[in-house]
Amino acid sequence: MSLKKVNIDEKLAQFQDHWNPRIVGELNGQQVKLVKFQGEFVWQT
């Protein structure tokens, strides 16, 4: 098994839309996703 590094800045530059998660990798059988936010994002309070 070989690990492949993912450059997050490069992956984020590949898409412009917001609130649309993209799969950028896989780790231990789980998908790793990135998403761009727009406006204020309030995490749980």
What's residue 1's pLDDT?
A: 63
Q: Which amino acid is at 28?
A: N
Total structural domains within the chain: 1
Look up the domain containing 33 and give its range.
Answer: 1-45
Which strand (E) or helix (H) includes residue 40? none
Q: Quick one: pLDDT at residue 3? A: 79
- Helical ranges in 1-45 per DSSP H: 8-13
Comparing 22 with 2, which gets the higher pLDDT? 22
> How far apart are the C-alpha atoms of 36 and 34, rounded to whole Å?
7
* Predicted TM-score (pTM) of this structure: 0.68
Q: Which residue has the tokens 């749980």?
A: 44
SS3 24: strand
